[in-house]
Amino acid sequence: ADGTIEYLGRNDQQVKIRGYRIELDEIQSQLIRHAEVKEAVLSVREEVAGEKRLVAYIVARDRQSVPSVEALRAHLKAVLPEFMVPSAFVMLERLPLTPNGKVDRKALPAPDVGAYATRQYEAPEGEVEEILAGIWQSLLQVERVGRQDNFFELGGHSLLIMQMMDRLHRVGLSAELRDVF
């Protein structure tokens, strides 16, 4: 009556991460098209450093045929731009539901180290690789980084690259930006 308007937020699943507008339902529909995925839901998790990451929660069609993180990433990379591919994929037996039958997003677990795409672990070799692995662990909030791991698959992005470059510079090392990409 007094002309005051109260803004409650968006009424859809669109989010903005690192300057990109992302429709979570679009990613979810592509995940469900994967032959081994029964259900999927997307969430945005804010990490310790305030960075937002996309996390996919997956229920497999068959318990004997659970899709790998790498297979899901490859499936999405074939149909979506890189910025829409989640950083982590969490496998669940079933999605948590509220009493009225909707997905309980607050009950979705935080991703563990296995939820991120990794390659067969090979320990860093030499002082430079050990320093770089330590920087990645700190920036990406992961337990271990192997010499074959991919910065972006572990949740890295262009803003974190700038922080990585700064940390390298502090310890007397440098890298060309184009080489990182």
Residue 157: which H helix or E strand, with range?
none
Q: Give per-residue pLDDT as tens, 93-112.
A: 999 999 999 999 889 998 87
10 pLDDT more than 60: no
Compute CA 97 distance to the chain's CA centroid, rounded to the nearest angstrom.
22
**18: alpha, beta or left, given left = phi > 0 and alpha = psi -120 to 50?**
left
Q: How far apart are CA 95 and CA 111, in angstroms?
A: 14
Please say whether the beta carbons of 73 and 115 come within 8 A.
Answer: no
147 pLDDT more than 90: no
What mean pLDDT comes out for the span 25-50? 87
The string of DSSP codes covering 5-57 is ------SSSEEEETTEEEEHHHHHHHHHTSTTEEEEEEEEEE-TTS-EEEEEE
Chain mean pLDDT for the chain: 85
